[in-house]
Amino acid sequence: MLDKNLVSMGSSSFEDLKKVNEYGAEYWSAREIQPFLGYTQWRRFEDAIKRAITSCKQSGNEPSHHFAGVGKPIEGGKDAVQIVNDYHLSRFACYLIAQNGDPRKPEIANAQKYFAIQARRQEISDAIVADIERLELRKQTSEEFKALSGAAREAGVQDRMFGVFHDAGYKGMYGGLGRDAIKKLKRIPEKENLMDRMDTTELAANQFRMTQTRDKLTRERVKDQQSAIKTHESVGKEVRNAIKHIGGTLPEKLSPAEHIKQVENRVKITAPKMKLKEKDAKGLIGKQKEE
């Protein structure tokens, strides 16, 4: 289910951290996968774990088969050893944690998209796999839009200027075209959300633009409305130049995709609810309780 290169840090990968318990079942230490999923604070990561446990119950699976609370020894100064809270996690638990993590973290976003596809790959067609990927990316861009709006407010952008601020990013990336001009060019109805008609390529480019703008506003401590607007447009231009440099299709030339609601409805009808196979459902208890 997991690609060895799904999440990497240095020379290690997520799969390298897999262990096998006394029952012959594979598991991961929550403390060890925490940095791979972009969390620096255990408290926040444990919140995601608790949400995942709730999701496990709601999916009809037994949480104790996938989440086991344990203590992990941590060496301190002068040979002191401290026991800290940890969890042993099944593959399914790792999947649920990714789904319940902060999608604004690139590590979580990548894991969410990967797991969402891999969890169903053997049950559905490649077309639906592509639909799921687009749905996950659309969700992530929505979260990033909210995060960027928060960063803009911190940078001094007033509420009445939010439209101008967000349009600046589009203008930089789309060769001077704002949101309304893009919709007109692509013949997208005025009432529709532009991002709802973007394909995965266009969504990914816009998500990158928003992420980089948010980081730049924070990094450079921008506190002036006009500077924030110029920063967004500047980042948009840089993303556009990067697309040109690698020979990609400029975003205004990409055809509009079908509305995301149609994709969502198709996935709901076609994709079955995840039902774990017996081996996966037992998770951490492995062979011990097999009948």
| DSSP H helical ranges for 126-273 | 126-154, 162-173, 179-185, 200-219, 225-245, 260-270
- Cβ neighbour number for residue 9 with a 10 Å cutoff: 13
Per-residue pLDDT, 77 = 53
Q: Which residues contact 82 (CB under 8 A, 6 or more apart)?
A: 73, 74, 75, 76
Beta strands in 2-130 (DSSP E): 8-9, 12-13, 19-20, 26-29, 67-75, 81-89
Residues 241 and 175 sit within 8 Å (Cβ to Cβ) = no
Residue-wise pLDDT for 19-56, tens only, equals 998 888 889 999 998 988 888 899 999 999 999 999 88
Mean pLDDT is highest, among 19-23, 236-240, 283-287, for 236-240
Residue-wise pLDDT for 179-222, tens only, equals 999 999 999 999 999 999 999 999 999 999 999 999 999 999 99
Mean pLDDT is highest, among 68-77, 83-92, 275-284, for 83-92
Using 50, 70 and 90 to split pLDDT, how confident is the model at 234?
very high
| % of the chain at pLDDT higher than 70 | 81
Q: Which residues contact 232 (CB under 8 A, 6 or more apart)?
A: 152, 165, 166, 168, 169, 172, 213
Buried b or exposed e, range 166-195, using 16+ CB within 10 angstroms: bbbbbbbbbbebbbebbbeebebeeeeebb
pTM, to two decimals:
0.58
